[in-house]
Amino acid sequence: MYRRAWFLALAACGGQAPVQHPGDVHYDKLRIEGNHAIDGDTLEDGLALDRHRDIDEYQIDLDTKRLAALYQRLGYFSVEVHSRIEHQGDTGTVVFTIVEGRRATTHVEISGLPADVSPETARALVPLSEGAPFDYAAYALAKAPLLALVEDRGYAHARLEAGIVANRATATATATFVFEPGPPCTFGDITIGGTTGDLADAARARITFHKGDRYSSKVVALSQIELLGLGRFASVRIEPDRSGNQPVIAVKVSLTEGNRNELRIGGGLGLDPLNYSIRGRAQYSVAGFPGPLWNASADFKPALSFLRETCGPTLGGCQPDLLLRLIGLLTRQDLVRPYVKGEIEGGADYLPIEAYTLKAVRVRLGLSTPLGIQRLQLRVGWQLAAISFANLNSALLEPGTSIPTLLAHDLGLDRDERLGAFTQTLVIDLRDQPLAPRFGLYAELRLAEGSRYAGGAYQYVQVTPEVRGFLPLGPLVLAGRLRVGTITGDVPPSERYFGGGASSNRGFAERQLSPVATSTLDGHTVPVGGAGLIETGGELRAPLGKIKTYEIGTVAFLDGGDVTNSPSALSAPHLHWAVGLGLRWFLLPVGPIRLDVSYRLNRNGPGEPQPGCTWNWFLSVGEAY
């Protein structure tokens, strides 16, 4: 990869030939002979000769030198490149003959390091092994990390002189890195421009260095990330003053506030084995309202859902369900102290789902804070909701009546629900990136305690731990996850677990892995959720290449899971299992477009969720986990 990138860049520097020698003979073919270390396609990509034009001897001479330079950058210091033209009537073949010679081996010398920088640490940053074949691109890649290593130790004025000493006689290339570290430096005065008041205080709290700290370019870069993460600035510039040779480095921070008002409108289509859906979204947010560190937003999410079994081939006769969600949110940054965020949320839901139509009015208060490091977060809160259930499915009604069955009564669907609970969530996120991680760990523990002290009518404890892991295997990524959920005490209808879907067990359609209610009239079933949940599985993710500039990939997956009426009924050896394959197209910034096809391995007979349904497929956005 380095060779091709360098060669293309080198070719661009050749310029136009100042002399042309037109004649009757035109360049028609090209042949390269004697090359073994570098393939012909790579060599041809960088040549500037233009086929079907008059042969230009000046350009041939330049290309001869380009080929020699490419070999020399790989350590072939004795290489010879010759050119000739073979005539065939009014056309000609340009032939380059290469005598490669011996490839030089590598020796690395690093000198001038300050006493507090380990030579071993510096040597590890040079991606050339002692005695290995020389590669100029690998040598060049080491310069910036080596200089950053010394600067991060406090030497803001460090200089690095790097070079190659080539010995043709012994076929060796000595890469030399000579440092002039200068004096050790500390940070001086830090000035912030572009904002004032509480927002300036919040910005200063996110600068990860202080006056008197030892200089480090790494903490300067980290501070820039922290300031952008505040979400209030369109641009952030941090400029250490390294002019002269002074040991104290003043720092200027220049901030530009972003737009305060933002309107987002979007929509999409959804497909799964049971439903079609049309979704919309409109979100309006105001930054700095009602105070400098406050943000306010309103989010409206309408959707239409169509049961596929009611739709004909042309979608005629579809009976849509209208789903509505409205959420208002106020957040306050740096509440009490830096990095503590407070939230006030209110909302209303109208959600026709399988067993009933849910109507809810909710309010939630929340507080989140890092515990020592940003990757470890604690969130605590209180929620209160008034929920009613209407339009019960016929499987939950006595045959031919509107009277709820005993099961509906036991589930609490024949009366309004008042839900009040205290919540706590502990999250540690050690992934290298959130959307398409290749390495790391994500773990989460969610707790909820329903209580009359929280304003609710249900006394329960809900525990939902989850862990995900990611491990690179060369170009492949092995991903796995485990999620468990239990509700003990009273079980609120709105808090029951459902499995199945694109981000759950893909052997089942969305929410279909669940205990069911069965109609005594016609035997049809409807999922009602459970108090116990297990979801687990693994994926092997592999790249396939690109479509234009967008990467595509594939996955092989194994999903297991179950949802039961009570936590005690969960049985890890007796899960529902499904295998499958999927395609990924990384077209969107929010994650890949993915198509998954699954096959259920077991438990698909009578009495099981979705009996007889063996194959499932999902079209969705984002990785499964």
Q: Answer whether residue 4 shows pLDDT above 70.
A: no
| pLDDT-derived band at 17, boundaries 50, 70, 90 | very low
Give mean pLDDT, residues 107-130.
94
pLDDT score of 313: 58
pLDDT score of 54: 63
**Poorest-confidence range of 186-195, 245-254, 493-502, 584-593?**
584-593
pLDDT score of 403: 94
Spell out the SS3 assignment of 91-112.
Answer: EEEEEEEEECCCCCEEEEEEEC
Q: Answer whether residue 23 shows pLDDT above 60.
A: no
Q: Answer whether residue 37 shows pLDDT above 60.
A: yes
**Poorest-confidence range of 212-216, 505-509, 535-539, 604-608?**
604-608
Q: How many CB atoms lie within 10 A of CB 98?
A: 23
Q: And the tokens for 556?
A: 């092989």
Helix, strand or coil, per DSSP, at residue 490: coil
Q: Answer whether residue 19 shows pLDDT above 80.
A: no
Classify domain 105-180 by CATH architecture. Answer: Roll (3.10)
Nearby residues of 404 by Cβ (< 8 Å), 6 or more positions away? 392, 396, 397, 398, 413, 414
Residues of the chain with CATH 2.40.160.50: 334-621
| Residue 239 and residue 251 in contact, taking contact as beta carbons nearer than 8 Å | yes
Q: How many CB atoms lie within 10 A of CB 161?
A: 11
In tens, the pLDDT along 323-358 reads 999 999 999 999 989 999 999 999 999 999 999 999
Per-residue CA distances from 344 to 312, 385, 450 (Å)? 45, 14, 19
pLDDT score of 16: 39
Report the half-sphere exposure of 142 (CA within 13 A, side-chain side).
Answer: 26
| pLDDT-derived band at 2, boundaries 50, 70, 90 | very low
Q: What percent of the chain has pLDDT over 90?
A: 72
pLDDT score of 315: 58
| pLDDT-derived band at 59, boundaries 50, 70, 90 | confident
The single-letter DSSP state of residue 3 is: H
Give mean pLDDT, residues 280-293.
94
Give mean pLDDT, residues 28-39.
84
Per-residue CA distances from 528 to 170, 412, 473, 525 (Å)? 79, 11, 41, 9
Q: Answer whether residue 142 shows pLDDT above 50.
A: yes
C-alpha to C-alpha distance for 426 and 333, rounded to whole angstroms: 19
In 333-372, which ranges are E strands? 341-352, 357-371
Q: And the tokens for 539?
A: 């994926």
Q: Is the dihedral of CA 220, 226, 228, 233 positive or negative?
A: negative
pLDDT score of 46: 67
Residues 18-24: contacts with CB under 8 Å, at least 24 apart: 18/58, 19/58, 20/54, 20/56, 20/58, 21/54, 21/55, 21/56, 21/57, 21/58, 22/54, 23/54, 23/55, 24/90
pLDDT score of 39: 86
| Residue 492 and residue 460 in contact, taking contact as beta carbons nearer than 8 Å | yes
Give mean pLDDT, residues 65-88.
88
pLDDT score of 86: 84
pLDDT score of 245: 87
Q: Answer whether residue 18 shows pLDDT above 80.
A: no
**Poorest-confidence range of 228-237, 269-278, 505-514?**
269-278
C-alpha to C-alpha distance for 288 and 283, rounded to whole angstroms: 16
Fold (topology level) of 334-621: Porin (2.40.160)
Helix, strand or coil, per DSSP, at residue 6: helix
| Residue 179 and residue 160 in contact, taking contact as beta carbons nearer than 8 Å | yes
Residues of the chain with CATH 3.10.20.310: 2-99, 105-180, 186-257
pLDDT score of 452: 95
Q: And the tokens for 239?
A: 């400029």
Q: And the tokens for 336?
A: 């009490």
Per-chain mean pLDDT for the chain: 90
Q: Answer whether residue 52 shows pLDDT above 60.
A: no
In tens, the pLDDT along 432-447 reads 998 889 999 999 999 9
Nearby residues of 144 by Cβ (< 8 Å), 6 or more positions away? none
Q: What is the DSSP string of 112-168?
A: ---TTS-HHHHHTTS---TTSBP-HHHHHHTHHHHHHHHHHTT-TT-EEEEEEEEET
pLDDT score of 11: 37
pLDDT score of 15: 38
Beta strands 417-429 and 440-450: pairing type?
Answer: antiparallel
Q: And the tokens for 158?
A: 């460090």
Q: How many CB atoms lie within 10 A of CB 424?
A: 13
In tens, the pLDDT along 473-491 reads 999 999 999 999 999 999 9
Q: What percent of the chain has pLDDT over 70?
A: 93
Give mean pLDDT, residues 166-193.
94
pLDDT score of 26: 62
pTM of the model: 0.78
Give mean pLDDT, residues 224-229.
92
pLDDT score of 272: 72
For residues 468 and 374, the model is more confident at 468
| Residue 286 and residue 295 in contact, taking contact as beta carbons nearer than 8 Å | yes
Residue 165 burial by Cβ neighbours in a 10 Å radius (0-12, 13-18, 19+): exposed
In tens, the pLDDT along 388-425 reads 999 999 999 999 899 999 999 999 999 999 999 999 99
| pLDDT-derived band at 89, boundaries 50, 70, 90 | confident
Does the domain made of 186-257 have the CATH classification 3.90.1200.10?
Answer: no
Give mean pLDDT, residues 99-124.
94
pLDDT score of 312: 60
Q: Is the dihedral of CA 279, 326, 298, 511 positive or negative?
A: negative
Give mean pLDDT, residues 217-224.
93
pLDDT score of 314: 57
pLDDT score of 568: 95
Fold (topology level) of 2-99: Ubiquitin-like (UB roll) (3.10.20)
Cis amide leading into 290 (omega within 30)? yes
